[in-house]
Amino acid sequence: MNFPPNLLSLLHRTSKLVALTGAGVSQESGLRTFRDAQTGLWAQYKPEELASPEAFARDPKLIWDWYAWRREAVKAVRPNPGHYALAEIERRVPTFMLITQNVDGLHRMAGNHNVLELHGNIQRVRCSECSLVVETWDDDTESVPRCASCGGLLRPDVVWFGEALPRDQLEAAVEAARSCDIFFSIGTSGVVQPAASLAFAARNRGAVVVEINAEPTPLTAKADYVLQGRSGEILPELVAAVWGG
Ligand code: OAD
């Protein structure tokens, strides 16, 4: 890709960069995005209908099984060149924060350390009653496993529609967005709040906003630079163009 020379020189000079990522970044690792149609067993459901406290209250086993299936899918995949390029950017830029809506843990696996997981992590499980985070549970049961401490049903430690984001992660994300000089929005449809507003928070404080996405989104018209295509291809090329290697 031919990158705008102004963007390359801005990146070369930046000292504070924030990257917000969504499901598109993991697509090239083999994970489905949220707004892709589902296939197979889960084709009859919309993710929005499964990722909610109401759905869990109605049919805990259905929701538990959907997450168990997704957890296995995540365990089977590895970071892609887009994830590794973001880890390289963290090594190159003095102050870097990666804010992700993904629950797959692939950014840390690729080597990023400064990671805020706004929507939790699918490999963690907690009690739906007392919130105790548990490391191990019995998955071979007919029903949803229960908390050893209070007997409540266990659930994935992720954020569902209608639930609040982890406060510390959100506050740190807003602070990082407001104080960066370049903000990347990568592989996210930009329709789920409050993550979608972070690009605008950055822009209002004078940051240069760069969107990297396979398709246009609500942010596209407001971004300073739009790099349309696959993040697993664009990010490594961009890193090579700015920092070499
Ligand atoms: P979406 O599935 O809404 O959007 C994925 C975006 O990635 C789309 O804009 C695609 O065009 C783009 N995309 C797909 N493949 C790509 C690639 N290889 N390179 C670059 N871009 C690509 O996923 P999110 O925006 O992450 O929340 O969804 C946000 C939240 O909504 C999720 O975290 C989840 C979901 O419901 C909760 O569960 C609370």
pLDDT score of 122 = 95
- What is the structure's pLDDT at 38? 66
Number of the ligand 1 atom closest to the C-alpha atom of 159: 39
Closest CA to 32 of 20, 22, 17: 22
Tell me, what amino acid is at 99? I
**What is the 4 CA–ligand 1 centroid distance (Å)?**
25
Tell me, using a 6 A CB cutoff, whether residue 35 lines ligand 1: yes
The count of C-alpha atoms lying within 13 angstroms of the C-alpha of 81, restricted to the half-sphere facing its C-beta, is: 11
The residue among 233 and 141 whose pLDDT is bigger is 233
119 in active site: yes
CATH topology agreement for domains 5-31+79-119+165-243 and 32-76+124-158: no
Distance in angstroms (rounded) separating the CA atoms of residues 80 and 58:
37
Query: How far away, in angstroms, is 143 Cα from ligand 1 center?
Result: 31
pTM to 2 decimals?
0.95
Is the CB of residue 223 below 6 angstroms from any atom belonging to ligand 1? Answer: no
CATH 2.130.10.10 fits 32-76+124-158, yes or no: no
Strand partners, 21: 100, 186
Residues 6+ apart with CB under 8 A from 13: none
* Ligand 1 atom having least distance to the Cα of 34: 2
Digit-coded pLDDT (tens) for 73-121: 999 999 999 999 999 999 999 999 999 999 999 999 999 999 999 999 9
Amino acid at 6: N
> Which residue is it, tokens 């887009």?
82
Q: What is the pLDDT of residues 31-67, one digit of tens each?
A: 988 777 666 666 778 888 889 999 999 999 999 999 9
In this prediction, residues 231-245 reach a mean pLDDT of 95
Tell me: pLDDT of 202 over 80: yes
| Three-class secondary structure of residue 205 per DSSP | coil
Q: Is the CB of 47 under 6 A from ligand 1?
A: yes
Mean pLDDT of 9-20: 97
Strands (E), 22-162: 95-100, 115-117, 120-127, 133-134, 154-158
Instruction: State mean pLDDT over 162-178.
Output: 96
Domain locations in the chain as residue ranges: 5-31+79-119+165-243, 32-76+124-158
Distance 150 CA to ligand 1 centre (A): 36
CATH architecture assigned to 5-31+79-119+165-243: 3-Layer(aba) Sandwich (3.40)
